[in-house]
Amino acid sequence: MRLALIERPYSIQPTKERGRLMTRAAREERKSRVIEVLNKARAMELHAIGQYMNQHYGLDDMDFGELAAQMKLIAIDEMRHAEKFAERVKELGGEPVTLAASAVETGQEMEVIFAFDTELEDDGIAAYNEFRTECEDCGDSVSVKLFDDIINDEQAHFNYFDSVDAHIKKLGAAYLAQKAGTSSATGLNTQGFVARRSGGAPV
Ligand SMILES: [Fe+2]
Ligand SMILES: [Fe+2]
């Protein structure tokens, strides 16, 4: 009996070891799938930052201060998103991408800007929901939560852009006359669009 007990671990060791190695390999594969979608999302954020800051300068130059200020705050939200995706990529042992997903469209007219951004946010929400599902499939609840939080912010951006676009289309010059000559000041703090709307502290 004693002999059988001693021998038993030797007889099951190879199977156990194989199982453990396979599990580790599968885990690494799942991590790399999550890193891939996090980096795709980060590249989209890097594009949004460049796009919205470019529009911010343009709106400010056209003297639509209030619209320029809101655009800057939304760009700050996107900076925070890009940073959060990078932090999670690093936590998982990956390298955050540094290139934007698309080139920035410059010199857009007022009639184009808010329709363009509404579509950008809509595309982002659809993509992030797909990326979230990938993270869920990979069993990464931390990355799922990250996408949940950021999708909520993108929805707030979508709602704002969509409402401004609707006002411009329905009211045209009358709406824009209210925005002309307004202040573009956003103050010295780094709160973005969503944090200001909710009255919360910067995250
Ligand atoms: Fe974002
Ligand atoms: Fe956004």
Q: Nearest ligand to the C-alpha of residue 122?
A: 2
Per-residue pLDDT band for 2 (boundaries 50, 70, 90) equals very low
- What is the C-alpha separation between 46 and 50, in angstroms, rounded? 6
Residue-level pLDDT at 161: 98
pLDDT digits (tens, 9 = 90+) for 100-110: 999 999 999 99
d(CA 183, CA 116): 24
* Assigned superfamily of 28-193: Ferritin, core subunit, four-helix bundle (1.20.1260.10)
Average pLDDT over residues 120-147: 98
| Centroid of ligand 2 to alpha carbon of 48 (angstroms) | 7
121 CA distance to ligand 2 centroid (A)?
Answer: 5
* Domain coordinates in residue numbering, the chain: 28-193
| Average confidence (pLDDT) over 21-33 | 88
